[in-house]
Amino acid sequence: MALDTQKIIDDLKDASILELNDLVKAIEEEFDVKAAAPVAAAGAAGGDAAAEKDSFDVELTEAGQEKVKVIKEVRGITGLGLKDSKDLVDGAPKVIKEGVAKADADEMKTKLEAVGATVTLK
């Protein structure tokens, strides 16, 4: 039996996501296989992503001597109210922003360190 490859491809293009999902499940059951990405390729991609991290968490490690100025900076960075900002600064070490771009994280770190805080980028 010869397969009509182009017809199969055309049928797949016209199928809905649910139909494709059902097809994958049926193939897995019929042939006792799993549709999964190769682990080696995923591992290599993960290594590159770790080397070139593009999002950072900005952690206030210590408030320092100028706590009032640090609270003001934290308010400006986070948009939190005065009480929430004070609680965050008092509870240091705490993450004040998550998933921030490198340039933005460096800017936040510079602002906070300028008023005496200790900041760590993770």
pLDDT digits (tens, 9 = 90+) for 87-118: 888 988 888 888 888 888 888 889 999 999 88
> What pLDDT score does 12 carry?
85
Confidence of residue 68 (pLDDT cuts 50, 70, 90): very high
18 with 69, same domain: the answer is no
CB 84 within 8 A of CB 71: no
CB-based contacts of 53, cutoff 8 Å, min separation 6? 102
Q: Is residue 47 part of a domain?
A: no
> What pLDDT score does 42 carry?
47
Q: Which domain does 12 fall in, by range?
A: 1-34
60 with 115, same domain: the answer is yes
> What pLDDT score does 38 carry?
55
70 with 111, same domain: the answer is yes
97 with 60, same domain: the answer is yes
- Cα distances from 12 to residues 15, 18, 23, 26, 36, in angstroms, run 5, 12, 10, 14, 19
Residue 38, helix vs strand vs coil: coil
Q: Is residue 44 part of a domain?
A: no
Question: What does DSSP assign to residue 36?
Answer: -
Prediction pTM value: 0.56
**For the segment 16-65, what is each residue's pLDDT rounded down to a tens digit?**
888 888 888 898 888 888 776 555 544 445 555 445 677 888 899 998 88
> What pLDDT score does 1 carry?
61
> What pLDDT score does 25 carry?
87
Give me the number of domains the chain comprises. Answer: 2
Q: What is the CATH number of the domain that holds 101?
A: 3.30.1390.10
77 with 112, same domain: the answer is yes
